[in-house]
């Protein structure tokens, strides 16, 4: 695959290295000449010196034949514009933007970027159990089918504890596929499975149903039906 | 009418003062306090320090009551991001965005932004001066 990356800081540098190791064709766009020199010394001539939001620079990088476009500079606005230019001007099928401010996630998705990576959210997801207000963890997204695979931990206080799976009215298009118990013991969920405190539910669902599922399995305060 | 101007550079300050003198309610935002020195002492609007691409800050600046948002900082990308944020998340009825880069301004115009390219406008005016 041909992958264009914007931003040759720490993230960009190690990303390029990893992708080259997997035998992908990679171009890295970086505006800072010092960073470019370091990349050239260590990784060879895979860089383009310039502004990754600039149409002429992206043209020079052959962006129109890129399979994936990834913007990982430290500034959210630069990553947004770079990805939008790649998507709308060069028709790159898949764009990935790094975001620093997690609230930008909604805006970037609304503007049609495929994926956002937020290091803040990644850390939050790892300590999710300790932060009761944090929503469910998205494991994988399939934007084309509008389906997410999500993971949700059942807190001990949840009214779902002790109930069978078939006693819940799940929103349309939601399947509970796996239940993971202590020590990563996974089992396929059937309608007879009883939910226990501390269980991890792995579910396939539509993104707009996630808020409802979170409420249903953590506080039991299901949102009124017209919202599902 | 409530107008929020993002960027108190020469253009933003000038625009803010003009609208203020015509009776509009102006909030001008900038991340650097020094830029507010451009505002004359008789400016009656509000000047707020903060990040115009930050949802919480925009709320504090009154974005939910704003009728117009104008993005005129020195950075094209910053203007593009804040204009899209204000348009798509806060649904402000009128959003205007200054973009220097003519290629980008063309692209964002097709994506539905109300774009002003000062470079293109000035080039046009200068061309007329030169050729007349």
pLDDT at A82 over 60: yes
Whether the Cβ atoms of residue A4 and residue A67 lie closer than 8 Å to each other = no
The whole-number pLDDT of residue A127 equals 64
Domain A2-124 matches domain A133-227 at the CATH topology level:
no
Cβ contact B81–A85 (<8 Å): no
Distance CA A90, CA A59 (A): 8
| A89-93, A108-112, A218-222, B81-85: range with lowest mean pLDDT | A218-222
**What residue spans define the domains of chain A?**
2-124, 133-227
Q: Of B7, B51, B77, which to mutate for an interface test with A (greatest number of A Cβ within 10 Å)?
A: B77
Whether the Cβ atoms of residue A184 and residue A178 lie closer than 8 Å to each other = no
Distance from CA of A24 to the nearest CA of B (A): 29
Q: Please choose, from the candidates B112, B53, B113, B89, the residue with its C-alpha nearest in 3D space to the C-alpha of residue A109.
A: B89
Q: pLDDT digits over B99-129, tens only?
A: 999 999 999 999 999 999 999 999 999 999 9
Contacts of A110 in chain B (CB under 8 A): 88-89
Distance from CA of B80 to the nearest CA of A (A): 7
Q: pLDDT digits over B14-39, tens only?
A: 999 999 999 999 999 999 999 999 99
Q: What is the CATH number of domain A2-124?
A: 3.40.50.720
State pTM to two decimals: 0.73
Q: pLDDT digits over A25-34, tens only?
A: 999 999 998 8
The ipTM of this complex is 0.89
The CATH class given to the A133-227 domain equals alpha beta
**What residue spans define the domains of chain B?**
2-131
Distance CA A12, CA A5 (A): 7
Structure tokens at A20: 């080259």
Contacts of B80 in chain A (CB under 8 A): 77, 80-81, 84
Q: pLDDT digits over B67-89, tens only?
A: 999 999 999 999 999 999 999 99
Distance from CA of A158 to the nearest CA of B (A): 31
- What residues in chain B have their Cβ under 8 A from chain A's Cβ atoms? 53-56, 75-78, 80-82, 84-85, 88-89, 101, 103-104, 107, 110-111
Question: What is the C-alpha R_g of chain A?
Answer: 21
Cβ contact B104–A55 (<8 Å): yes
Contacts of A84 in chain B (CB under 8 A): 80, 107, 111
Cβ contact B89–A106 (<8 Å): yes
CATH superfamily of the domain spanning B2-131? NAD(P)-binding Rossmann-like Domain (3.40.50.720)
Distance of alpha carbon A177 from its chain centroid, rounded?
A: 20
Contacts of B88 in chain A (CB under 8 A): 107, 110-111
């Amino acid at each position: 695959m041909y992958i264009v990356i914007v931003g040759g800081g720490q993230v960009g540098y190690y990303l390029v290295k990893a992708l080259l190791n997997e035998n992908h064709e990679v171009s890295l766009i970086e505006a800072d000449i010092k960073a470019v020199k370091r990349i050239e010394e260590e990784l060879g001539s895979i860089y383009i010196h310039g502004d990754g939001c600039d149409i002429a620079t992206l043209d020079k990088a052959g962006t129109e034949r890129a399979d994936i476009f990834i913007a990982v500079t430290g500034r959210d606005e630069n990553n947004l514009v770079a990805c939008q230019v790649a998507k709308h001007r060069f028709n790159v099928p898949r764009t990935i933007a790094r975001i620093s401010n997690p609230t930008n996630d909604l805006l970037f998705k609304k503007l049609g970027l495929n994926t956002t990576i937020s290091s803040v959210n990644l850390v939050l997801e790892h300590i999710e159990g300790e932060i009761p207000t944090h929503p469910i963890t998205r494991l994988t997204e399939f934007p084309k089918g509008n389906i997410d695979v999500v993971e949700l931990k059942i807190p001990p206080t949840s009214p779902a504890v002790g109930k069978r799976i078939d006693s819940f009215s799940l929103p349309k298009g939601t399947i509970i596929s796996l239940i993971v118990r202590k020590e990563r013991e996974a089992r396929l969920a059937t309608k007879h499975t009883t939910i226990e405190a501390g269980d991890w539910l792995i579910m396939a669902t539509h993104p707009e149903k996630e808020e409802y599922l979170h409420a249903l399995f953590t506080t039991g305060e299901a949102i009124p039906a017209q919202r599902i | 009418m409530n107008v929020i101007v993002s960027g108190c550079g020469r253009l933003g300050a000038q625009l803010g003062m003009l609208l203020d003198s015509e009776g509009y309610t102006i909030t001008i935002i900038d991340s650097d306090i020094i830029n507010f020195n451009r505002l004359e002492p008789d400016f009656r609007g509000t000047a707020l320090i903060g990040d115009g691409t930050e949802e919480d800050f925009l709320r504090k600046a009154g974005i939910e009551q704003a009728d117009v948002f104008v993005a005129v900082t020195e950075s094209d990308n910053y203007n593009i991001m804040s204009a899209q944020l204000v348009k798509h998340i806060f649904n402000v009825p009128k959003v205007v965005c200054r973009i220097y880069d003519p290629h980008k301004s063309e692209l964002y115009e097709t994506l539905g932004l109300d774009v002003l390219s000062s470079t293109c406008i000035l080039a046009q005016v200068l061309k007329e001066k030169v050729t007349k």
